[in-house]
Chains A and B, each alone.
Chain A
Amino acid sequence: MTRFVERHPAWALIIIIAVAVALWLIFAVWPPGLEEAVGRKRVFLNALFNGITLGGLYFLVASGFTLIFGLMRNVNLAHGSLYLFGGYVGYAISASTGSWILSFIVAFILTALVGVLLQVLVFRRMEGQDLRQTMVTIGLSIVFADLMLWACGGDFYQIQTPNWLIGPIELPLITAVKSSGEPVYLRYPLVRLVIFLASVIIGIAMWLALNRTRIGMIIRAGVDDRDILAATGVRIQIVFVLVFALGAGLAGIAGVVGGTFQSLSPGEDIRFLLASLVVVIVGGMGSIPGAALGALIIGLAEQLGSVYIPTYAIVVTFLIMVLVLALRPQGLLARR
């Protein structure tokens, strides 16, 4: 931190000012002039929170994608299919047992199993052949999409939100002050906060597992140099299967999350594949903190964009991607 300030005093100043402005925008009561210029504070705060929570969902999908890429150099273009598959499994479980929590567990296990099969039956047979892997995964994603359309139809599925999560809660953030002097607090959907919290916990757990455990050490070593790691006697294929299972399982969990606060239907697989590609390109291929930062940026850009520049909202995320590719092609937080 201090080294960063010493080396880039100008950037540090800009960042400090930006953080201060953001904090002021969030906590202060907006003066009437500002409300007139950019709209009500309630709208701004909602868009901000939505961006952060949407970023949480993107992170869940993209972290698995980036983990798999980082270790195995596999661009798994069937990752979106795993997301949708997890969602459908979650729906089936929650509809038949009524348990939301159970649907996460089953979705994680089943998609992880599919991931293991993918790794053992497909990727292991074509290790190191990037183009072939890419083509095969594109093909698989089309096959999976058709199979799921066949099994589940084109209907929209929503996973039932458990009763204790329905409805908004009041946050201690003042959005406006009534003429009587009574403050109006921000009301925000509880389910989104819970989901965001869960994705933060998963993110931190993953970071800890990667940086504080033995298996994490092996994975990091594998990301750096797979061949040397294999030469030291680590059974790298088992590590690959494990990581693939984890990455796929995370996509499955994300499917349940997405099915709860959005919906599941054919086409969602491609949308989330595209989102995770953009997130990973912005954040840096293979980096978990990069995926978190990328997800946050893309989520915020989508939501703030949809409120303040609705016409061009669709372009904003791709604009960010183009900028990153032009200025820092390896991604914001990539090491190399």
Chain B
Amino acid sequence: MLKGSLGLIALSSLLLSGTAFAQEKIKVGVTATLEGTYTVLGEDGIRGFQTALNVLGKKVGDKELEFVIASTDATPDSAVRAVRKLIEQDKVQILLSPLSGDEGIAVKNFAKTHPELTFVNAASGAQETTYVDPAPNFFRYNMDGAQWQVGLGKYAYEEKKYRKIATVGEDYSFIYTQVFGLVLEFCGAGGQVTNRQWVPLGTKDFASVIAALPDDVDAIYLGLGGADAVNFLNQYQQAGGKAHLMGGSIMIDQTILSSKGNAKNALVGTLAASGQADTWEDPGWQKFVKDYQDAFPPNKRFPSPSLLATNYYGSTMALILALRQVNGDLSNNQAKYKEALAKIELDAPNGKIKLDANRQAIGTNFVTEVVDDGKGALFSKVVKVIPNVNQTLGYDPAVFAKIGLPSRTVPECKKY
């Protein structure tokens, strides 16, 4: 628990600045994975959150926002423990939580036991969180893993002419959702997914997984994140791997692209899709990148914000803007605030975002390719922008429901 030193520093600075005024406060609890495999992701999420506070400020009418940060380690029980602590000990009224897929499902279920409070999802992207039995007080302003893969399968099939691919992914809900999005589109276009390998979250030694990769495929899709992705690439390079690669949203991300060492160079040219692209020309995005870069010294941040920073930024934005719309009115079990959250349309850095009936984001997706900027830094370059991606990925809801929920083997590789 004590490991979130970054969080503690952030927290103490927030508390110090808050004590200067004796006025009514609104308490917000924030969780991030500041421990374990996804530490780097959590840290950058908090940077995105800080950037949003720098830009928007902490005032809502005559009230002041106060934030309490808690650390998790990407497991569902750690997330519930952190959220419970924030509610019961710190008496927060609003939550910005959680970061990772399995955590999201657990926190959504927990949210139902506190219908009077409001939960704004920070960055988690499992489909089930908002698709199955959604909680009325849980709002998600980022797309899910499947939405973040829209465009990738088609582009790989049509432009890159890949026909057969295999996947390697971490064995949990977010990656299931990502592979779900990929397989649905790639197989729908006529491609074949011959093999899906799943590894436990936190795997260090990938040598046997790498040896078991099939040779007779056009590309290998990697759905890994954090330390797992770095370890995989390192060992892939040592084993002399040369296949074409494709990447999931947290694989092709600054958290990996700016890791130390040279294993990441295996990713140059890798095709991926995500809710953002580092080199997008859009002025809103460029402004966000600049705000992020100005907020932290270069050695305390990535060259460009990661997907987690962007998600935390967007979620914090929604949380504060909706609160301002109702002028900080949290009376009557926060009814007015919840209504405002459901209706708000965000001009987020990564495109316009609005919510559907399940309080799930409809947003913009990006197909990208990894490029070297000539100085050794890697960035994801936009190759295609797809606006208005909804949770059923453009399928008729009835057809989509028949596909089943993302899992190790769902969806089947066929046209739905």
Contact = CB atoms under 8 A, between A and B. Distances in A.
B19 interface: no
B205 A50 contact: yes
B5 A146 contact: yes
Given A146-B5, A150-B5, A189-B239, A158 B207 contact: no
A314 B40 contact: no
Contacts of B200: 313-314
A114 B261 CA distance: 27
A156 B40 contact: yes
Interface in A16-50: 39, 42-43, 46-47, 50
A265 B5 contact: no
Contacts of A160: 261-262
Contact of A261 (B6, B226, B238): B238
A268 B203 CA distance: 11
Interface string B49-76: 0000000000000000000000001000
Instruction: From A54, A158, A303, name the one whose CB has the most chain B CB atoms within 10 angstroms.
Output: A158
A314 B171 CA distance: 12
A73 interface: no
Nearest to A50: B207
B259 to A, nearest CB: 5
Interface stretch (A64-72, A161-169, A236-244, A280-288): A161-169
B227 A157 contact: no
Interface string B230-262: 110011011110000000000000000001111
Contact of B204 (A46, A167, A262): A262
B212 A43 contact: yes
A142 B208 contact: no
Contacts of A189: 207, 235, 238-240
A276 to B, nearest CB: 14
A303 B207 contact: yes
Contacts of B231: 156, 262-263
A55 to B, nearest CB: 11
A187 interface: yes
A156 B207 contact: no
Interface residues of B, number: 43
Contacts of A307: 208-209, 211-212
A155 interface: yes
Contacts of B197: 310
Nearest to B259: A156
Interface in A222-261: 261
A149 interface: yes
B2 interface: yes
A266 B259 contact: no
B232 to A, nearest CB: 10
Interface residues of A, number: 49
Given A42-B211, A189-B240, A262-B234, A146 B204 contact: no
Interface string A176-198: 00000000000111111000000
B372 interface: no
Interface string B33-58: 01111011011000000000000000
A17 B397 CA distance: 59
Contacts of A146: 2-3, 5
B208 A306 contact: yes
Given A156-B260, A157-B260, A46 B234 contact: no
Contacts of A303: 205, 207-208
A155 B260 contact: yes
Interface string B141-181: 00000000000000000000000000000010000000000
Given A156-B260, A167-B238, A168-B239, A149 B207 contact: no
Given A154-B40, A160-B262, A262 B205 contact: yes
B263 to A, nearest CB: 6
Interface in A292-336: 302-304, 306-307, 310-311, 313-314
Given A158-B230, A189-B235, A306 B209 contact: yes
A266 B3 contact: yes
Given A267-B35, A306-B199, 17 more contacts: A46-B208, A146-B5, A154-B39, A154-B43, A155-B40, A166-B237, A167-B240, A187-B240, A189-B207, A189-B235, A261-B235, A262-B234, A265-B37, A267-B202, A303-B207, A311-B198, A313-B200
Interface of B: 2-3, 5-6, 34-37, 39-40, 42-43, 73, 171, 197-200, 202-205, 207-212, 226-227, 230-231, 234-235, 237-240, 259-263
Interface of A: 39, 42-43, 46-47, 50-51, 53-54, 142, 145-146, 149-150, 153-161, 166-168, 187-192, 261-263, 265-268, 271, 302-304, 306-307, 310-311, 313-314
20 contacts: A43-B212, A46-B208, A146-B5, A154-B43, A156-B226, A156-B227, A158-B261, A159-B261, A168-B240, A188-B239, A191-B238, A261-B234, A263-B231, A267-B202, A271-B204, A304-B208, A306-B205, A310-B171, A310-B198, A311-B198
